[in-house]
Structure 1
């Protein structure tokens, strides 16, 4: 896909033309599908990549986290950047969440099932339950992909934020990439959530 094609495609999207209609228009301009040089899936991937590159959004989030750390010195956050300097993954956990984890880390939920946002970044939440049966959040992570390497990275960040203390058990929904990542921590028992078992 050339830079001109990408700009043309993004302008058409802003005008309200759907991706399938754009691909149809490009194929008719090129006199057939075989002459376009890419398929609809390539277009969807490029659109997702372009949306992740909104200038300033990542910088604003990192600035907000820096400002929050002035009020909460225990706030821990870590961004992982790609070769182009774009934020790939973003992990954060505040001081209260870290204290809760120290007391209530027996069983934690590793939830990577939240829907994607406009940047196509899944949200991962590490949570638990307190003595009043209320959900408490230990850490939150925005990730670019659901690979084993990404999950290992965020589990390492969780362990660092929580002073190296591992949970007794981690409950997940059973995705193979998560299973492989949790297996890196041999002392932690991996359990599937009841909803996915049923």
Structure 2
């Protein structure tokens, strides 16, 4: 970790002992092993994770409604972290009937999925209800997150929840929100249709129908015409 802080890349760090061993295969330790070890150290408490938790504690002094929950392994590693501040919770009470559950953001230095619970307000603006970081994308991890959401929002469940259709997320939604309508994200539906149907005319019409504002009978008629 000290070498990383000094600006030496992980590949360079791995190359040093490997060169001393003579050949990489003699080293008995691969680059992926080193990346995993660095990730484990970064999630240890104390360390980066402890700093984040301290930051959230400080924020709660200014926002008494701030709720956060951390899940640790027996070795002290931070596995999951959920948070929602007072404004997030107020927005959920007002606009949380339809909640999007998105776990596609992974562009962070720890390669941990950033999970966002969001919705749309009366000005058609995207608003955030809660955020989370998770170590792995398992049904258990998502079940834990959804239960934290329910606790933070004082037991209020959405009417509909929108996801990207990943099986682990679908299973978690079925476990926690068994009576909530589960819908697939429009963006993913359009992407799937475009990638699986080699007809540009179909894709264009499909997009217009998906994004159009139609009464139900009109939508059904347009849908039948599209399929025909």
Structure 2 unaligned spans of 5+: 192-228
Which has more radius of gyration?
2
Q: CA RMSD in A?
A: 2.3
Q: Which moved more, 1:61-70 or 1:25-34?
A: 25-34
Could you tell me how far 1:39 is from its partner in structure 2?
2.5
Tell me the equivalent position of 2:224: none
Q: Deviations over 1:57-80 (max 9, x none)?
A: 333322332232233222211111
Q: Which moved more, 1:93-102 or 1:24-33?
A: 24-33
Structure 1 unaligned spans of 5+: 1-9
Distance in 2 (CA, whole Å) between partners of 1:32 and 1:73 is 57
Are the aligned partners of 2:103 and 2:116 in contact in 1 as well (CA < 8 Å)? yes
Q: Deviations over 1:22-67 (max 9, x none)?
A: 5455444334444322333222222322333484433332233223
TM normalised by structure 2 equals 0.72
Tell me the equivalent position of 2:187: 195
Tell me the equivalent position of 1:140: 131
Tell me the equivalent position of 2:82: 91
Are the aligned partners of 1:51 and 1:118 in contact in 2 as well (CA < 8 Å)? no
More helix by share: 2
Are the aligned partners of 1:75 and 1:93 in contact in 2 as well (CA < 8 Å)? yes
Tell me the equivalent position of 1:112: 103
Tell me the equivalent position of 2:59: 68
Tell me the equivalent position of 1:176: 167
